[in-house]
């Protein structure tokens, strides 16, 4: 059972805090310090209700997944048991970021068989928190036709040193948070469109990446930031392009089996209400939610789930909205870092297009 509501103290720091009477008063508060930046997100959605609770977003009939934040245990091996690779101490050096955003350096030493997968270690302890590869360097060059791979057991794809090389190139460095763009059909008008993705990493850093649909628009293109491929994606803040698309475009993993977000056909941007709070060095706020349900005498229930600052438990604010009467839900609270806001709707009897606007702020 989900807890509906709570009796609690509202916090903005360790022991003190307040909510705000209106979203306007929250606006004034977050503008109190001119040395910081305020980023405001307004998510507007028209969602068809049903008799079951559904998350508010436009999904192009796709199942939307969320990226994982768990660190990985990683190993490495050569593709061939060449004598020059055997029993070599610290033959591979990996610089990576952990799932908490810490930059670390690990090494690998081979044994009697260079094709046997061996753990990367730091001070003798196996790495278990890998999230994104920054660089992979070998002490010697690989031989012709032979490679070195790093990844999880049996799947050495997170970093590869190609034949006759001693270092991975950018295209061969990956992370748990790799994210790609593709078109659902090779629509002529979509080819060459540039998409902007504003996203949060698992450790709560906000970044902006770009990707351009290929001349064959169904080909998956990896997002990049100033030429560096993204491997630390975790949650979408915003996803948009410069004009409406002809067929829906998606972001996700390269095999297209997992989709993190869509821009629906005839849309120019993603429509979603899920919002992730940034790291504790910033402040993130859930502002107000405006809901209307244009069914005369109809009733709609909206459930807003979030984690207040200072809490380890999420709460769900549930409101019943009567047809034709817009309702403004003023929450205006600071969010616990690295937590999600989400909302669902369900109608009492008659399905209709619910209109939802959600306002959130990051104080960076």
CA 129 – CA 106 distance, rounded (Å): 11
Q: What is the pLDDT of residues 294-330, one digit of tens each?
A: 887 788 999 999 999 999 999 999 999 888 888 999 9
The answer to pTM > 0.85 is yes
In the chain, the domains with their CATH numbers are 23-57+274-363 (2.60.120), 75-171 (no CATH), 180-263 (no CATH)
DSSP, collapsed to helix, strand or coil, labels residue 178 as: coil
pLDDT at 14: 59
pLDDT at 189: 95
pLDDT at 6: 65
CA 194 – CA 263 distance, rounded (Å): 13
pLDDT at 27: 82
Name residues whose C-beta falls within 8 Å of residue 116's C-beta, 6 or more positions apart in sequence: 77, 110
DSSP, collapsed to helix, strand or coil, labels residue 135 as: strand
CA 360 – CA 364 distance, rounded (Å): 13
**Nearest C-alpha neighbor of 140 from the set 161, 157, 124:** 161
pLDDT at 266: 94
pLDDT at 352: 85
pLDDT at 50: 86
Q: Is 214 exposed, middle or buried (0-12, 13-18, 19+ CB in 10 A)?
A: middle
pLDDT at 314: 93
CA 136 – CA 114 distance, rounded (Å): 17
Tokens 């310090």 correspond to what residue?
A: 33
pLDDT at 33: 62
pLDDT at 52: 86
Residues of the chain with pLDDT under 70: 1-8, 10-18, 33-35, 58-60, 256
Residue 28 DSSP one-character state: H
Phi, psi for 89 (deg, rounded to 5): -75, 130
Residue 188 DSSP one-character state: G
């Amino acid at each position: 059972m989900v807890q509906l509501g709570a009796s609690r103290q509202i916090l903005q720091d360790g022991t003190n805090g307040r909510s705000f009477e209106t979203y306007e008063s929250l606006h004034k508060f977050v503008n109190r310090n001119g040395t910081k930046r305020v980023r405001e997100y307004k998510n507007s959605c028209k969602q068809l209700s049903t008799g079951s609770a559904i998350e508010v977003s436009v999904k192009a009939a796709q199942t939307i997944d969320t990226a994982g934040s768990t660190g990985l245990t990683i190993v490495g091996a050569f593709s061939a048991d060449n004598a020059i690779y055997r029993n070599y101490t610290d033959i591979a050096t990996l610089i990576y970021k952990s799932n908490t955003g810490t930059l670390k350096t690990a090494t690998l030493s081979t044994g009697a068989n260079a094709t046997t997968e061996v753990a990367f270690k730091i001070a003798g302890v196996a790495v278990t928190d890998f999230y994104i590869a920054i660089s992979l360097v070998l002490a010697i060059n690989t031989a012709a036709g032979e490679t070195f791979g790093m990844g999880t057991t049996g799947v050495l794809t997170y970093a590869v040193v190609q034949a006759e090389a001693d270092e991975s190139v950018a295209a061969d460095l990956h992370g748990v948070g790799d994210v790609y763009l593709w078109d659902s059909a090779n629509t002529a008008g979509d080819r060459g469109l540039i998409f902007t993705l504003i996203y949060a990493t698992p450790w709560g850093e906000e970044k902006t990446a770009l990707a351009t649909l290929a001349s064959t628009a169904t080909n998956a293109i990896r997002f990049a930031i100033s030429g560096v491929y993204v491997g630390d994606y975790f949650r979408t803040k915003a996803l948009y392009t410069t004009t409406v698309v002809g067929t829906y475009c998606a972001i996700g993993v390269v095999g297209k089996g997992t989709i993190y977000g869509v821009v629906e056909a005839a849309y120019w941007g993603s429509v979603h209400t899920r919002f992730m709070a940034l790291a504790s060095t910033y402040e993130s706020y859930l502002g107000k939610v405006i809901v209307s349900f244009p069914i005369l005498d109809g009733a709609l229930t909206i459930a807003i789930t979030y984690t207040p600052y200072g809490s380890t438990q999420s709460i769900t604010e549930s409101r019943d909205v009567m047809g034709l009467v817009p309702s403004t839900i003023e929450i205006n609270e600071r969010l616990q870092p690295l937590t999600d806001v989400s909302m669902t709707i369900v109608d009492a009897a008659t399905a209709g297009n619910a209109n939802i606007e959600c306002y959130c702020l990051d104080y960076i």
